[in-house]
Structures are given as C-alpha cells and as structure tokens.
Amino acid sequence: MLLPLSIAACRDSSVASYRIPKEIDAASPEATATTQPAAPNRETAEAVVVKSEGADLAWTAPVQWKSNPGSAMRKGSYIITGENAATADLAITAFPGDVGGDLANVNRWRGQLGLEPITAADLPAALTSIEGAGVPISLVDVANGAQRLLAAMVSFNGSTWFFKLTGPDAFVASTKPDFIAFLQTVRVPAANPHASANPPAASSPAPTPAMPARGSLANTEVTKAAGPGLRWSAPAHWHEKPVSAMRKGSYSIDGDGGAIADVSITAFPGDVGGELANVNRWRGQLQLPPLADADLSSAVTHREQNSLHLTLVDFSDSVSANGSRMLGAIVPYDGATWFFKITGPDALVAREKPAFLEFLQTLQTP
C-alpha cells in the first residue's frame, strides 16, 4: 500500500505530492515479507544499518538510548527516557529525492505541531548547519510550548534522510546537545560501494571515517573535575547530581519556594556549529528569537583566563510566565568545545550569577 504525502511548499496554494511506502508495524502479518532491521549492539551502541539498495548511512547512538523494533519505513528507531518518566521518540527514515525541498519539509514539521508555515525568506533562520562525520546536515528546531521537534535532513545518494526527535518541549530541549552529538556521528560506511560520488582509486581504499574521540561521550568516564579534560571547583552550596552519558558534570541549586536551577557541563568535538549557532541554540531553549551575525558581539562577553578563552552569555525570557534565565560559557579546548550552563527561574539564576562567574574562574587545564 502507498500512502500519499502532501507537503505544502510555502504560504501560497502550490502543493507538491509524493508517494512514500506505508509504515508497517513490525508485529503485523504484513511485515512477514519484509526484512526487519536487527537490534543494535548494546555494548557499542552501534546502529545496525538497514540496507536499501546498497546506499545507507551509519551512525552511533548513545548506550542509554533504547532501540525500538524497526519497521518497513524506519531505518532506525530509539526511545530516549528522562526524569519523571519523560520520553522522546527518535525516528530515522529515508525517501527518494528531496521530498519537496527544505521549505516543504520544515513546514510539514511545523504543521505537525500546529504552527503556521514559514516563507522562503524565513527559511535560513530556521536551519542550523551541522557537520557530521563528513556528511553535511541541516537541523530544524520547532516547538509549540507543549511539544518540541528536532529534525535533521541529510542528502545522500539521491535520497533525503530524516533524523527526527519528538517529545515534551522541556525534555527534548534538554536532550538537544545529546542529539547534536549523535548527529555528528552520522557517516557514510566505507564498505558502501555508493558511498562517494568520487570514490578513491582501487589501490587506495577509502578509510573508515574516524569517530569522535570524545564527541558522543557515550562511554566517557570523565565525570569529575579531577578527571581528564578541564578541571573546576564548584561552590559548596551546589548539590552534585549523578552525571549522564553526555554530562561531564551536573549540579542543582536550591532557591526560595522550592525553586531549582540546573547546572550542566558538557563537551563535544569541534566547534559544534560555531559561536553564533551555539548562542542561538541556547536562545531557542528560552523561546527567544535567533540573533543575526551582526548582533552577536553585543550579546556575548569574552574573557581570557588560565590559558582559556571564554564566551559568556546571559539570556532571560521576561515575556513568559515562567521567567526563565540562562547563564552560559562556551570554552574551546583541545579540539572540542565545552559548555557550562546554568538554567532556572530568573530570580534564582540572577542570585547565582556571582557564584557562577566565580566558578568559571576556577576552570583550569590538566
């Protein structure tokens, strides 16, 4: 069976129609004639790539992401769980062609969240470029206040791949750094005969793309300040929390009336899209509009200390009833970018700003 997929390309009435395979549940009788993807190796968290005409991508998922049984449509499927039983769904699919183009795909996802479509003029601000392991990726982040959708588009071998994460707004926003790190592992398998439009000569076999040494953080043991990487000393009134696979450090701060602020310390390979992309990613977490390149210098503060270069930000959402605030520091070090971030109610984060700045002054290289 084929299911029509209609995608609105922009605000006008022009509609492009595509036909894609109907997704068949793995447990249904219809699935018996379809080869289902095997479960990933939980020890390495290496995704098993479902073969599709010999031209597929590969990736590495964090070990704490739970794989779902595959379907005829999905190339990969994961469930991500968080605190208070929060869950998000990650679907990996691929379709021939461009499926209507970037604008149509973005507006399709916006429509799924009940949001108005954007125009072609709005599209550049809606996309963030990310470099995978040699694979260019465009990332979209849309939210309606209750649900959030992170979606990445990858053009490869005449098809478009979609990596889509959906779930509760706050939980998906908190998972975004992990999702970006996951996207940076997306790569073309060296054994794929269609892996490159310009394959090397037979005498020079293509090397396996190098995986980020510290990027996915799926198996890193660096959870304490005394471990490899940067070192720091946290204020005594910050409560240390168990770290996740992605966090180098994690703390909570108590405020009046049960208010709580969260401190996260993460690190990812490379520049994670550059300073502007990282600043706008944080602004998006507070539902603030992105900055243009010309506005960046007035929104950040630079500091040099202990042989480290720090980019500091202070954003607040004064419009919403929640009144959230974020203090952050971006610190390049040893081929990676470290992120130090405190988020919580405006008043509490404002109270903690002097302590956060003093905390940053303790940062040191090994």
Which DSSP state fits 83? G
Topology, domain 239-361? Protein Transport Mog1p; Chain A (3.40.1000)
- The count of other CB atoms within 10 Å of the CB of residue 219 is 11
User: With 50 as the cut, is the pLDDT of residue 44 above it?
Assistant: no
Range 106-123 average pLDDT = 89
Give 66-81 pLDDT, tens digit per residue: 988 756 678 889 999 9
Whether CATH 1.10.3470 fits 2-183: no
Q: Where are the alpha helices (DSSP H) in 1-101?
A: none
Residue type, 80: I
Shortest CA distance to 167 belongs to which of 158, 175, 159?
175
pLDDT, residue 332, reads 92
Residue 104 CB-density burial (10 A; 0-12 exposed, 13-18 middle, 19+ buried) = buried
Please state, for a pLDDT cut of 70, what percent of the chain lies above it: 71
239-361 and 2-183 share a CATH fold: yes
pLDDT, residue 268, reads 79
Q: Assess contact for 295 and 283: CB atoms under 8 A.
A: no
Range 186-199 average pLDDT = 55
Least confident of 152-156, 159-163, 202-206: 202-206
| Segments making up each domain of the chain, as ranges | 2-183, 239-361
pTM of the full structure: 0.45
Instruction: Measure the CA–CA gap between 341 and 273, rounded to whole angstroms.
Output: 17
Point out which residues pair with 64 in neighbouring strands: none
Instruction: Measure the CA–CA gap between 70 and 236, rounded to whole angstroms.
Output: 47
Tokens representing 39?
A: 């479960």
Give 252-311 pLDDT, tens digit per residue: 999 998 899 999 998 877 877 788 888 888 887 787 888 888 999 999 999 998 899 999
